[in-house]
Structure 1
Amino acid sequence: MEKLLVAILGNRNSGKSHTWNTLFGATVRTGKEERRLYFNNYEYVNVFLVSGSPEERQKYVGDLIADTDPRIVLCSTQYKDDVKTTYEYFLEKSYFIFVHWLNPGYWDGDDSLFDSLGLTNWLLSKNSMVGIRSGKISASSRVNEMKEFIYGWAKARNLIINEQG
């Protein structure tokens, strides 16, 4: 069974939670169950959201997801050494990883940051895609890009639910 992780990577206060809030059109937090991500008025897909990064919370992502086995996970990840533990969890569970790195993040300096962790190369050597987006500009363009990617991925796997029948 194919699975998808959509991750937002960034420093603390870079705009990760703001991205999820924009995607859902409301303030959202990590839940215990899947929730609906609507693409329009009647089409949606079920996703599991980990809003606060496991690294900031000092929790193992597997404990946050618990006993669920979601096909699509949306997860905040913090740019620090132990973030690889979070990505390795998903890789071990055969997720394809789609990452938006907020670089620079909302509260970072004006210049893009050098990848001192070598995370980009490490991720790209795995089953993943990485894009760098500015956290200083409106979240709408990156959210639309994520939404289109999730829709296409889910549509190809017959995961889109249509409320109109």
Structure 2
Amino acid sequence: MSDRLFVGVLGNRNSGKSITWNTLFGSTVKTGTHPRKLDLYDSECVEVFLISGSFEERQLYAGDVLDNQDSRIILCSIQYTKEVYKTLYYVEDKGFDVFVQWLNPGYNDDGENYDNLGLMPWFLGHGATVSMRDGTVSPILRTEEIRQYIYGWSRPRGIIFSC
């Protein structure tokens, strides 16, 4: 059982990654320098660290931000480009459990309508949990899915606190 969780929202530019985080937190959020509280259920919370702009878009290496971050749960936008593998290999190397919510797979992928980067075999081969969702519709159901996953992962590890 891993002691860290990486929750990625994967998609092309303008696929709904930022609106997913804003809806999850109930307000506009941006990458911070400190962990923040995420409300779960019935006055229960968990500490998370959010990276709302993808490493791929900002041309950063995940380790440059996460090596000094000891939060057990990382929430991160990841962009559907070949550069995403750098982030995924970093997360794998650090032993994170991985949950990825993939928004609009196949849409706006240079005319392709399939996984032209081969991410699904990587995810499956590395024990990741992946859901595919439509980022063009209301984010309420997909953010609830993320909240439920975080809750289910956090509960047996005893990291939920009263808020």
TM-score normalised by the chain length of structure 1: 0.91
Structure 2 CA distance, aligned partners of 1:70 and 1:47?
6
> Residue 14 of structure 1 contacts residue 104 of structure 1 at CA under 8 Å; is this kept in 2?
no
Structure 1 CA distance, aligned partners of 2:77 and 2:35?
16
Structure 2 CA distance, aligned partners of 1:139 and 1:67?
31
Alignment partner, residue 37 of structure 1: 38
Aligned AA (2:117)? L
Aligned AA (2:92)? L
> Residue 18 of structure 2 contacts residue 52 of structure 2 at CA under 8 Å; is this kept in 1?
yes
Query: For structure 1, which segment, 33-42 or 88-97, has the greater mean C-alpha deviation from structure 2 after superposition?
Result: 33-42
Structure 1 CA distance, aligned partners of 2:83 and 2:13?
14
Structure 1 CA distance, aligned partners of 2:98 and 2:77?
12
> Residue 3 of structure 2 contacts residue 96 of structure 2 at CA under 8 Å; is this kept in 1?
yes
Superposition RMSD on alpha carbons, in Å?
1.9
- By how many angstroms is 1:156 displaced? 1.1
Identity of aligned residues (%): 47
Gapped runs of 5+ residues in structure 2?
none
> Residue 31 of structure 2 contacts residue 50 of structure 2 at CA under 8 Å; is this kept in 1?
yes
The CA deviation string for residues 53-106 of structure 1, in whole angstroms up to 9 with x for no partner, is: 00000011121234122210000000010101001111111001100100158x
Q: Which runs of 4+ in 1 moved over 6 A?
A: none
Residue 47 of structure 2 is aligned to residue 46 of structure 1 = yes
Aligned AA (2:33)? K
Aligned AA (1:160)? I
- By how many angstroms is 1:40 displaced? 3.5
TM-score normalised by the chain length of structure 2: 0.92
Aligned AA (1:162)? S
Alignment partner, residue 126 of structure 1: 126
Gapped runs of 5+ residues in structure 1?
none
Alignment partner, residue 100 of structure 1: 101
> How many equivalent pairs are there?
161
Structure 1 CA distance, aligned partners of 2:118 and 2:140?
28
